[in-house]
Structure 1
Amino acid sequence: MPLAATFAPPPARLRGKGDLTLVVGLGGDALAAARVIAVSADAGGEALVIADRRDALAARADGVRGEHPAVGAFSLPGVDAVPGLVTELAGIAPDQVWVAVDASRKTQDTAHWVQAVDAVLAVDGIAATGAALTASPDEVRGLGLPVLWLDAPPER
């Protein structure tokens, strides 16, 4: 099902002690985006790899002790991976969810996994990259979620 394009501003990064922001993406996209978000959220510039509930609890506890938010990355091995990872994703129970999207990838493939993640975790926004690698970067807005460009945003 196609989603309506949105030009809503991206949500503010969470800054509370132990607040957990999770960035979900394909392969290394998740960790790269999580690192940028961690800096913008004053999370000590550290992004953790989160694979399950235990990792999430540890990240939250570290954030509380360190008096900063926690930012974690959850890497998907492929566009069809979400159904097999529902238990792990749901168990993380993050406070905020971003999807790391490379705008130069096929929109249909991206929509497939983003919608699957959204069905499990209620995605708050897109952390987008790859604007310079495609002639149609704004197609990422067709995913129906607010977009935060982590590299140079497309010119309108």
Structure 2
Amino acid sequence: TAGRRLTTAAAAARWRAEPAAGDGVTVVALGVRPGRAREDAAAELLAALAPDQAWGVVDARSKTRDCARWIAGVGARRPLDALAVGGLFETSEPGTVLGLGVPVAWIDGVPASRVAWAAALGEHLPEGTVWG
């Protein structure tokens, strides 16, 4: 249902159990700011929703350890399948998001293709790098 707010795992489970209205795709967004209590609540909601896919959104400019903790907290009961990463072209270490343990599917609003990664990583090669 468009605009419906699900604030508890029980409400999410009831919503998930409702018969689907057609063969359309449903997108559910959980806004989860950092913080143990918020991450635990989001993990519970995510598990109750039982999605076919669950993506997380992280900022590449954030500390890798903080992103990893957030991913582990939100995905504690239902792991994330992919990440959409923002701020990749604005960080001096774009490759760090590759170590978060979740595939990166989007970077700065575009699919994370080889060309996009080459552009992002190439921006930070040392001056005078020779391509062999």
Q: Classify the TM-score, shorter chain.
A: 0.5 to 0.7
CA contact (8 A) 2:33 2:39 kept: no
Does the Cα contact within 8 Å between 2:16 and 2:49 map onto a contact in 1? no
Distance 1:55 1:48 in 2: 10
Distance 1:142 1:47 in 2: 35
Listed one character per residue, the Cα deviations across residues 60-115 of structure 1 (whole Å, up to 9, x for unaligned) are 868x4242111111111324332344433322222211111111111111111101
Which residue of 96, 99, 117 maps to 1:139?
96
1:68 maps to: 24
Counterpart of 1:107 in structure 2 is: 64
Q: How does 1:87-126 map onto structure 2 within 5 Å?
A: 87-126=44-83
- Return the alpha-carbon distance in structure 1 between the equivalents of residues 66 and 8 of structure 2: 25
Q: Following superposition of structure 1 onto structure 2, how do residues 67-86 of structure 1 map, counting pairs within 5 Å?
A: 67-80=23-36, 81-86=38-43
Q: Which structure has the highest strand share of the two? A: 1
Q: Which has the larger radius of gyration?
A: 2
* Code of the aligned partner of 1:71: V
* RMSD of aligned Cα (Å): 2.9
Q: How many residues end up aligned between the 2 structures?
A: 110
Q: Distance in 1 between matches of 2:66 and 2:6?
A: 23
TM-score, normalization: structure 1?
Answer: 0.56
Which structure 2 residues correspond to residues 21-40 of structure 1 after superposition, within 5 A?
Answer: none
Identity %: 31
Task: Check whether the contact 1:48–1:72 (CA below 8 A) recurs between aligned residues.
Answer: no
Q: Which runs of 5+ in 2 are unaligned?
A: 111-115, 122-132
The residue identity in structure 2 corresponding to 1:113 is W
Distance 1:61 1:119, change over 3 A: same
TM-score w.r.t. length of structure 2? 0.65
